[in-house]
Structures are given as structure tokens and as C-alpha cells.
Chains A and B, each alone.
Chain A
Amino acid sequence: MKAKGEYLLEALNIVKVFGTLRANDDVTLKVKPGEIHAFLGENGAGKSTLVKMIYGALQPTAGEFRWMGEKIVVPNPAAARKLGIGMVFQHFSLFEALTVAENIALAMPGPFDLGVLSEKIARVSKDYGLPLEPTATVADLSVGERQRIEIVRCLLQEPKLLIMDEPTAVLTPQEADQLFKVLARLAGEGCAVIYISHRLEEVKRLCHSATILRHGKVVAHVDPTKETAASLAKLMVGGDIHVVHTPRKVTDGKVRLKLDALSLHADGPFAVELKNISLDVKAGEVVAIAGVAGNGQGELFDAISGERHTKAGMLVMDGKPSGNEGVSARRRLGGAFVPEERLGHGAVPGFKLSDNIVLTRHASDTDVVKSGFLQKNGAANVSERVIKDFDVRKGKPDPEARALSGGNLQKFVVGRELDRKPGILVVNQPTWGVDAGAAATIRQALVDLSRKGSAVLVISQDLDEIFEIADRIAVISRGQMSEAFPASQMTAEKIGLLMAGEHEVHTHAA
């Protein structure tokens, strides 16, 4: 087959409408063979929507796709794979309970023979430096290893175009370097790559060209090597980036939150055990815990919030041993918590915002619940105050939580806690999946709270965020945590080594 034009893939004037939202509005993207093409934009700009259409998982409302100059319709992912399009999803499309080989078999056409396939997997994964054990169960693997499955799954089909959706968001810096080598090699072999990211430094380093999307529209095609990170960011956001203002810590305050050799058993076959975690968070400072997803962050959050209990002395709040207290008791002691998952953990999706106020404030606020009875007006007042203070945008006065965009709901759940002026605030992934404007608002609010004398603990995967707001940084890996070092002494490189921790040793030994 010979290409008619010089482009491998052309997406021409693509429109995709969801209800009243134009997720893609006249988007055009052209990719040449052997090119690593960055596709940039904020959360919610419409990047994932376009690549899902290229992969056949969604159908466009209008516009057309061309593949090697021929007009095509991609009715489903199987058709895309047949054309030679592979995709590595941001939220992996893996089956945790199945083995590596079974996961890959599900994406392969033709006869079903796990033995033959396993040999192939071993060969290809070794060839590209992405070691994989075909009989391992996915649930037992690290995030980096899971991404390797997705990549090997694509490679086995000898793709002409590989789509990578935010691939480095879940990797350590060292794992990301390894990934860049693989992508460069693939490009050298003539495979095109669509690379979705909002990490501008790596885009500058890796990509040959870039298309930038804002609010569903293409705003620029640029050569990223000729841009600066700041100019790319300005194109993405459509204005100047709000810089978080972090006044110097005045003095070392007293310890408000103390973790003392906190240990917690894993509560299921796929969970992480916490081992001997110690940390002091003082009044007036923001301490961040960095780490790759799935290394015990969720378990640590549950142990601190009180959703799981430990021995009393393992967690001390303002001098009071509280490890065996429940969530409500810890809130009464001045603790406030924001979990990673907004919908279904931090907020009840089908409840109105005013009812979601009751969720975390029923035990501490008598104007929300009084002697067992709900005070609907009290909750509504708090809700309105949070909405005003944090500029939560919504379609109607008191909407259900699920009707809000990710950024606005996150502002609401963070604002709900900050409104209490808590002495101790613990936030897991404060700006995950949130647009730049909301992220800046939230980060500023966290810093401001600490400077008023509260202790703020942030658990985050986002190194940029950590460097922006943290006074001290610790790293969690496989349920164990490093010492917290002053931010000024930390580099991405050093964090990466700590993130790898035991795990790196483990892989080399294997």
C-alpha cells in the first residue's frame, strides 16, 4: 500500500457535540509518518474526545478522517487496530483480575493461543526494554508495569500510529525517560505518535510538532522546539498563568499533625500495606507527599481521615492521640480532609450541594445539624458562602454535585473544608483533573491557610504542584515513606529516585 499524500492521518474539521457541549469544534489535526505530534490543551479542552474518535471509541458529529489520503470511517476500536492505530489510555483499559497475556489477547485478532502469545509478549517486551511477565496478574503490578502492558499490546500489532494519552502522569521521572527512548525508537522506525500531555518541558524535548486546543477549538499549530514552556502555556490557557504567591514561613510552629510509626495492614488482595510511617506537620507549613499512584496514598489518607483506624498513638492531632478515633471525632478536633475521588467519596453525586455540606459538617457545625435534625437553611447558607468564596460556577442555584464540572466540584469540596478554618488540613491530589484557573485558586488557598497557622498536608502525584506550594517534601513508595526534606533541597531527579525506592531494586533483581 502506498500513501497518496504525505500525511498518515488527517482529522479534518471534526465536530463532536455532547448535549449542549461542543467538545470538539472544527478541529483539524494532521500527522506525518515517523512524527511525534504533541496534542496540547488543558483538562477539558477536548483532547481525549478527539483521540477517542480516531480510535473508533466515539463517532464525530461532523467532519472527516483520512488515513494515508483515503477517507475513512472508524466504526469501532477493532477497526482502528486493523488500520494500524494503537492507543494507550490515560486511565488504562486493563482488566485487573486477568493475567498480562489474557489482557493482551483481548486486543489481538486471529486465533486464540495463550502459549504462542506469551512467547511473543516475552520477545517483543524484551526487544524494546519493557520487561513483562505474561502470567502475572495485572492487579499485582505497579502502575509503570501496567503501562508497559498497554504499550506492548500496541506494539504487537505493529502500529503505524500510536496514541498516548498523558502517559507520563503516572510514571517516575526515570520511567518517563525509558518511555521517551521507546517512543523515539518507534518514530525512527516510521511509526507516528500522537502525544497528549500538559507537561510542556517534555513536549519540547520529545515532539516534532504540536497542535494546541483550547475549549474544543484549535488555537495554534507550532514547532515546540522553537517555543518556550511559558509561550506554550499561554497558548493553552489563553492568558497569563496565575502564579501562586507563597510568602516565606515565618518561624517553625508547633507540631499539629504527627504520624508516629503508623502501620496499617492491607485490607484486600489488591491493597497496599502501610509500614512505619512517621511525619510531623507544623503550624504554618505545607508538607507534600510525592509518589506514583498506587503506592499507599489512598490507604494513608484513610488512616489520617479516620476512615480506617490504627493504634491511638500512631496519629496525634494537636497533641491528642487520635489513631483510634472516628472521622467525626477527628473533625471535631479541627481536622479537615479532602479525598482524591470527588464523586462518590468527597461528595455524593446525586445530592444537591447544600446536602453535600452536611456530609462533612454534621458533627462539627450545629447550624447544619441540631440534636439529630437537619437544619436545611444552615446548610444552604454554608453552601452559598463556599460557592461565593471559591467562585464555584454552576447552572442553577443548588445543583446536584454530579452536574458540576470537575474543577468547580473540586473547588467546592476543598472550599467546604477551608470554610471551617481547620487547624489541620489533609488533601489527596488537590488539583487532579482540574483546569489551570481552578488549580491556581486551590493551591493559593492551601498556602494561605497554612500561613494563618494551620498545618497543611498535601498528597500529590504532580511534581510541578509540589514544587509550587510545598515547604517540605516526603516521598511514599510501596507503603513506606521517606523523611520530609526541605523543598529547597529537593530536585525532580532526587524525588524520582525515592519514588522508585525498593521497587527499582526489585525489578533489577528479577
Chain B
Amino acid sequence: MDLLLTLVSIIMTAATPLLLAALGETVTERAGVLNLGVEGMMIMGAVAGFAGAALSGNPFVGVVTAILAGMAMALLFGFLTLTLLANQVATGLALTLLGLGLSALIGESFVGQPGIKLPSWAGIDPLVPFSFAMVAAVSWFLFRSKGGLIVRAVGVSHASAHALGYNVVGVRYLAVLFGGAMAGLGGGYLSLFYTPQWVENMSAGRGWIALALVVFASWLPLRVLAGAYLFGTISILSFVLQAAGVGIPSQFLSSLPYLGTILALVVISGNKALTRRNTPANLGQAFVPDR
């Protein structure tokens, strides 16, 4: 029984950063913006979270600095893609490359330092219930509120939203910033709870997995929740199997989350009826108001 509880709490720890980042990206993409820089925002959240906690001695300060770092990166992305109309795919890649480099530079002095861990009760830290609450909140917002309707409207047809007088670019900035805050928080979770220390590249592709989760979940928050826990379980599985002494080389077990991601994408994307109905029609397209 104890083992089961431990297992559940480990899975939660693995799933929460994915869940947070993917929820944020869900809102961003619902507004029609494809921000491929989740990995870069997460890693900046991780280093800023660690720094905030280390410098103040308070892990909750780290939570705030992680969120702010994610938002700062998102703002940069927004400025390029929404104001300067740069290609969203390329800018997302740039955000990731910059984030990985900048976090390594900033974090250099923190390497090897012990971190400050978020408090937890029975293995459950405050961000786990928070992430569940955010699933409910994002679900409610997107499908039960006027604001969410506007976000979805901007994502499915920016031209129509503009014709009705909505500020397409403004709505998208907000959605991008929300995505950045959540990715930053997800990254902060890594350095404040998952492995409370700073390691270069510690996000290890989780930002990309979060992006795949959004597609896998066909932009629905509840399915994001299910997907995050599925992936959390897969990544824990490799540890469990290793600990159990299964005769499979550790490298193959470690590659399971990545292979699982590919498999999930294949399964869900092959189903055209499901993906096309939910895909925001203007995803990734720059908006230029016509005359």
C-alpha cells in the first residue's frame, strides 16, 4: 500500500510540469498561436525559479520568479510573431535555442548548489492541487465564459473576429503570456520540487512533450490532464523497471517517453475526424488586418 502511494506521488511529480506547460499552450493555441518555444520558456522558468528561491531563501519566491521568466520569454515571442509578424515556427525554435543558452549562462554559478524544495504533505506539494484547479479553471474559461469564447473565436477565424471589432493581436498577446506563465511555472516545478537543484538542460525535452500533449489532447483541457498523467506514468515506468532489475539497458527505458510521444502523435493525428474538428483553423498564421 505504501509502495502504491509512493508510486502515485512520483507519477504526480512527473506529470505536473507537463500538465502545467501543456495547459498554458492549450490556451495559446486555442487563440491561434503556435508557440514552439515551450522548452525554452520551461528551462528559463527552471533557472529563474531556482535563482529566486536560492537568493531569497523562500521557494515560493522561486515560484513567482519562474512564472515571470516564462512570461518574459513569451512576451519576446509575442513581440516577434504578433507585432513584427515573424514566422511562428521559426520564432518558437529561436525561443527554445535562446532559452537553453541563456539559462545555461545564468545558471552557471548555481551548478552543484543545493536547492530549496517546496514543502509537501504526504508527498504532495501545493502545485499538484493547483494544477488540478487550473484544469477546471481553463476548461470553464474556454467553454463557459465569454472571454474563452473570444479566445476560441480569434483562433478559428481571426478575420471574422477582427470584422466584429475584436482586438485579435491583444487577445493573442494575453493567450501567449498565459502560456508563458504556465510553462515557466512548469519549469520552476522541475528545479523547485522534482529535482531541487539546477542542472543544465534539465527540462530534457519536456517542453516538446507538452506540445505533443496538446495535439494528443485535441486542445481539450481534460484530455491534457489524462495525457499528462499517461506520460508521467510512462516516464516513471522506466525508473521502476530499472529498479526492478529488468534486463533491458537503461537507455532503452529512458527513450520510452520520447517513443511514446511519437506513438501518441501518430495515433491521434491519423484520426482526421477528431483532429480537424478541434484544430484552431488559424493556428500558426500571422494576422494582418486587411484594409
Instruction: State the CA gap A95–B161 with chains docked (Å).
Output: 8
Find residues 149-200 in chain B having any chain A CB closer than 8 Å to their own CB.
149-150, 152-153, 156-157, 159-166
Instruction: Give the total of B residues in contact with A, Cβ under 8 Å.
Output: 22
A384 within 8 A of B: no
A288 within 8 A of B: no
A268 within 8 A of B: yes
Stretch at the interface among B83-91, B100-108, B225-233, B272-280: B272-280
Instruction: State the CA gap A165–B145 with chains docked (Å).
Output: 31
B-side binding surface: helix, strand, loop or mixed?
helix
Which residue in B150, B156, B161 is a CB contact (below 8 Å) of A96? B156
Instruction: State the CA gap A57–B150 with chains docked (Å).
Output: 18
Give chain A nearest CB distance to B29 CB in angstroms: 14
Does A57 contact B277, Cβ atoms closer than 8 Å? no
B281 within 8 A of A: yes
Instruction: State the CA gap A105–B146 with chains docked (Å).
Output: 8
A296 within 8 A of B: no
A269 within 8 A of B: yes
Contacts of B281 in A (CB 8 A): 96-97
Known pairs A93-B159, A94-B160; A57 contacts B165 (CB<8 A): yes
Does A77 contact B273, Cβ atoms closer than 8 Å? no
Give chain B nearest CB distance to A49 CB in angstroms: 8
A76 within 8 A of B: yes
Known pairs A58-B291, A96-B156, A105-B149; A89 contacts B277 (CB<8 A): no
Contacts of A78 in B (CB 8 A): 165
Interface centre among B150, B156, B165, B276 (most CB of A within 10 A): B165
Contacts of A98 in B (CB 8 A): 149, 152-153, 156
Instruction: State the CA gap A463–B278 with chains docked (Å).
Output: 37
Find residues 33-86 in chain A having any chain B CB closer than 8 Å to their own CB.
49, 56-58, 76-78, 80-81
Contacts of B161 in A (CB 8 A): 95, 106
Give chain B nearest CB distance to A78 CB in angstroms: 5
Which residue in B145, B152, B157, B272 is a CB contact (below 8 Å) of A268? B272
Does B276 contact A96, Cβ atoms closer than 8 Å? no
Known pairs A56-B165, A78-B165; A269 contacts B149 (CB<8 A): no
Does B276 contact A106, Cβ atoms closer than 8 Å? no
Does B150 contact A269, Cβ atoms closer than 8 Å? no
A373 within 8 A of B: no
Instruction: Give the total of A residues in contact with B, Cβ under 8 Å.
Output: 26
Does A102 contact B157, Cβ atoms closer than 8 Å? no
Q: Name the residue on B nearest A137 (C-beta).
A: B277
Give chain B nearest CB distance to A478 CB in angstroms: 20
Contacts of A56 in B (CB 8 A): 165
Does B163 contact A106, Cβ atoms closer than 8 Å? no
A107 within 8 A of B: yes
Instruction: State the CA gap A112–B140 with chains docked (Å).
Output: 13
Find residues 261-291 in chain B having any chain A CB closer than 8 Å to their own CB.
272-273, 276-277, 281, 291
Does A57 contact B163, Cβ atoms closer than 8 Å? yes
Contacts of A105 in B (CB 8 A): 146, 149
Known pairs A97-B156, A97-B281; A77 contacts B164 (CB<8 A): yes
Does A76 contact B165, Cβ atoms closer than 8 Å? yes
Instruction: State the CA gap A76–B124 with chains docked (Å).
Output: 49
Which residue in B146, B273, B277 is a CB contact (below 8 Å) of A97? B277
Q: Name the residue on B nearest A77 (C-beta).
A: B165
Which residue in A23, A49, A107 is a CB contact (below 8 Å) of B164? A107
Instruction: State the CA gap A78–B163 with chains docked (Å).
Output: 10
Contacts of B162 in A (CB 8 A): 57
Contacts of B160 in A (CB 8 A): 92-95
Give chain A nearest CB distance to B140 CB in angstroms: 12
Q: Name the residue on B nearest A105 (C-beta).
A: B149
Q: Name the residue on A nearest B277 (C-beta).
A: A269
Give chain B nearest CB distance to A80 CB in angstroms: 8
Q: Name the residue on A nearest B274 (C-beta).
A: A269
Does A89 contact B146, Cβ atoms closer than 8 Å? no
Find residues 221-268 in chain B having any chain A CB closer than 8 Å to their own CB.
none
Does A106 contact B291, Cβ atoms closer than 8 Å? no
Does A112 contact B291, Cβ atoms closer than 8 Å? no
Known pairs A18-B291, A78-B165, A97-B277; A106 contacts B150 (CB<8 A): yes
Instruction: State the CA gap A102–B165 with chains docked (Å).
Output: 16
Give chain A nearest CB distance to B87 CB in angstroms: 14
Instruction: State the CA gap A105–B277 with chains docked (Å).
Output: 21
Instruction: State the CA gap A112–B148 with chains docked (Å).
Output: 11
Find residues 441-489 in chain A having any chain B CB closer than 8 Å to their own CB.
none
Contacts of A76 in B (CB 8 A): 165
Find residues 102-158 in chain B having any chain A CB closer than 8 Å to their own CB.
145-146, 149-150, 152-153, 156-157
Instruction: State the CA gap A18–B291 with chains docked (Å).
Output: 8
Contacts of A107 in B (CB 8 A): 164
Give chain B nearest CB distance to A196 CB in angstroms: 15
Instruction: State the CA gap A89–B159 with chains docked (Å).
Output: 12
Does B277 contact A95, Cβ atoms closer than 8 Å? no
Does A112 contact B164, Cβ atoms closer than 8 Å? no
22 A-B residue pairings within 8 Å (CB atoms): A23-B291, A56-B165, A77-B164, A77-B165, A93-B157, A93-B163, A93-B164, A95-B152, A95-B157, A95-B160, A96-B281, A98-B153, A98-B156, A102-B149, A102-B153, A106-B149, A106-B150, A107-B164, A112-B145, A268-B272, A269-B276, A269-B277
Query: 5 smallest A-B Cβ distances: which pairs?
Result: A77-B165, A93-B163, A112-B146, A93-B160, A97-B156
Can you add 10 more A-B contacts, CB < 8 Å, to A77-B164, A93-B160? Answer: A49-B291, A56-B165, A80-B165, A93-B157, A93-B163, A94-B160, A96-B157, A98-B156, A105-B146, A269-B273
